Amino acid sequence: MLFNSFHYILFFLLALLVVDAIRRRRFQHAFLLLASYYFYWVSSAWFVLLLLYSSILDFYLGRAIGSSKSLRARRIFLACSIAGNLGVLAYFKYTNFALASVETLLGSLGFGVRFSGWEIFLPIGISFYTFQSMSYTLDIYFGKLKPVDSIRQFALYVSFFPQLVAGPIIRARHFLPQLVRMPMVNWDRIRFGSTLILYGLIKKVCVADNLSGFVAAVFHGDPTHDSLWVFLGITAFAIQIYCDFSGYTDIAIGSARVMGFRFPDNFDFPYFSRNITEFWKRWHISLSSWLRDYLYIPLGGNRKGRPRQLVNLMVTMLLGGLWHGAAWHFVLWGLYQGILLILHKVLIWRRPASGSGIWDPLKILGTFYLTCIGWLIFILSDLGQLAFYVKKMLFWDFTTAGFSALIDSHPLALFLIAAFALIHLLSYRMGRLSRRLAASRTLGWSWIMLGGLLVLYLFAGGQASFIYFQF
């Protein structure tokens, strides 16, 4: 079920009315659990059984870890949880990739082996809820959380519909305590949540979806464009993927807030980062912090010397790249991000950052430029095309004819790029525009919402799926 559909609006309003009408907490939780399973069933049908599998597996293994006195037994139970979760994720997400890679390798050696009968479909959101469920047993093992007594509450944590399909990845220690009290609907939550929902919808359907055509025109097909087209095309994609993903997050956080639940922010103006390390603290925060807490730090983090720290950074980013998709260009993207992080870390060791912010604008532009090169790797699976576009980014060849053709063929895309830059800067300076709008007086807020709905009606670019659904 897409957030940007009337089906979701009707589903959410009905769920909200029922939750508000129920007066017993456990019945509220039971209803929200059933509603979440229905939400996922509409998108992935029988794959809802995987949600049940993850919930049952980690609930009972979490109890076993929490009640075990032996360190060896705790490690065995944790290993079962990790293997059970990652095994399912690997099968559905990476089997096709592995078989295709084996086919290519054997073909290069002269063996014509085919695995065409092994086509496996990827369940929507499996990367998100698998990591979310697995963090529960990891937190119990590390002593950060006690096992929950109710499997109903744990299953609701794993499958809660606002963040089920594309995050943010919520930690059990942040969500489960919120189930102790009854979800309550009140005017302040409705106002804040609905503002965020509308804000996210405008990002998605008015900005991201309308930029997708321009991005496709630049990067799909034979690479012939000059540097200006490439610069603006990859800038459009940077805006598209941000508005698409952060728009989903806004709708998820807003939907949960209306029902009385708080989710942490998943984006913090990443394109205003002054270096690549800061970018990964601001982009997809729930995944970045998950990889830091459950992979980078257990590998040793920065506690085992500088050479080991650099290795840990690279391993973390390679696996982070592979998390995004089962393809070699995602591995290459992770490698690129790892190299940038290592170079930045080495630069800091040699020349510690000064307190002056005079160079911040140039640092922000430089970080955005490097990020855009990374986005080229992210979206282009063909190495020949990638080499062409990276060359255009590094060696500029602007032409007047190319600029004129760009204005004539894609005026809306150019307008959206400029409008996003202006509004995003304004929001950054004001400290989150959506929160300022939600805090307006009732009359002013009503006019703002009507204006937002009008913008949504006039500039909606369709009902395209969210980009991160494929991950």
Q: Please check whether residues 52 and 173 belong to one and the same domain.
A: yes
Q: Please check whether residues 114 and 217 belong to one and the same domain.
A: no
Query: Is residue 1 a part of any domain in this protein?
Result: no
**Residue 181 corresponds to which tokens in the numbers above?**
């009290």
Query: Is residue 35 a part of any domain in this protein?
Result: yes
Whether the full predicted model's pTM is greater than 0.85, yes or no, is yes
Q: Please check whether residues 132 and 221 belong to one and the same domain.
A: no
Rounded Cα gap, residues 393 and 3, in angstroms = 35
Active-site residue identified among 324, 329, 344, 410:
324
pLDDT digit string (tens) for the chain, length 471 residues: 787 788 888 999 999 999 888 878 888 899 999 999 999 888 777 788 999 999 999 999 999 999 988 999 999 999 999 999 999 999 888 887 777 777 777 777 777 666 665 677 788 888 889 999 999 999 999 999 999 999 999 999 999 999 888 779 999 999 999 988 777 778 888 888 999 999 999 999 999 999 999 999 888 877 777 888 899 999 999 999 999 999 999 999 999 999 989 999 999 999 999 999 999 999 999 999 999 999 999 998 888 888 999 999 999 999 999 988 888 899 999 999 999 999 999 988 887 766 667 888 899 999 999 999 999 999 998 888 999 999 999 988 877 666 777 777 888 889 999 999 999 998 888 877 777 777 777 778 888 889 888 888 888 866 677 777 766
Q: Please check whether residues 372 and 264 belong to one and the same domain.
A: yes
Domain that includes residue 343, residue range: 188-470
Q: Please check whether residues 172 and 199 belong to one and the same domain.
A: no
Domain C-terminal end among 119, 151, 184: 184
Q: How many residues appear in the chain?
A: 471
Query: Is residue 72 a part of any domain in this protein?
Result: yes
Query: Is residue 42 a part of any domain in this protein?
Result: yes
Rounded Cα gap, residues 357 and 148, in angstroms = 47
Q: Please check whether residues 304 and 414 belong to one and the same domain.
A: yes
Q: Please check whether residues 175 and 192 belong to one and the same domain.
A: no
| 349, HSE (Cβ side, Cα atoms, 13 Å) | 12
Q: Please check whether residues 192 and 55 belong to one and the same domain.
A: no
Q: Please check whether residues 90 and 150 belong to one and the same domain.
A: yes
Q: Please check whether residues 161 and 207 belong to one and the same domain.
A: no
Domain C-terminal end among 152, 184, 216: 184
Is 410 labeled as catalytic in the residue annotation? no
Q: Please check whether residues 177 and 221 belong to one and the same domain.
A: no
SS3 sequence of 68-82: CCCHHHHHHHHHHHH
Q: Please check whether residues 159 and 194 belong to one and the same domain.
A: no
Query: Is residue 330 a part of any domain in this protein?
Result: yes
Overall domain count for the chain: 2
**Residue 336 corresponds to which tokens in the numbers above?**
């690129």
Query: Is residue 419 a part of any domain in this protein?
Result: yes
- Cβ(206)–Cβ(460) below 8 Å: yes
Domain C-terminal end among 166, 184, 202: 184
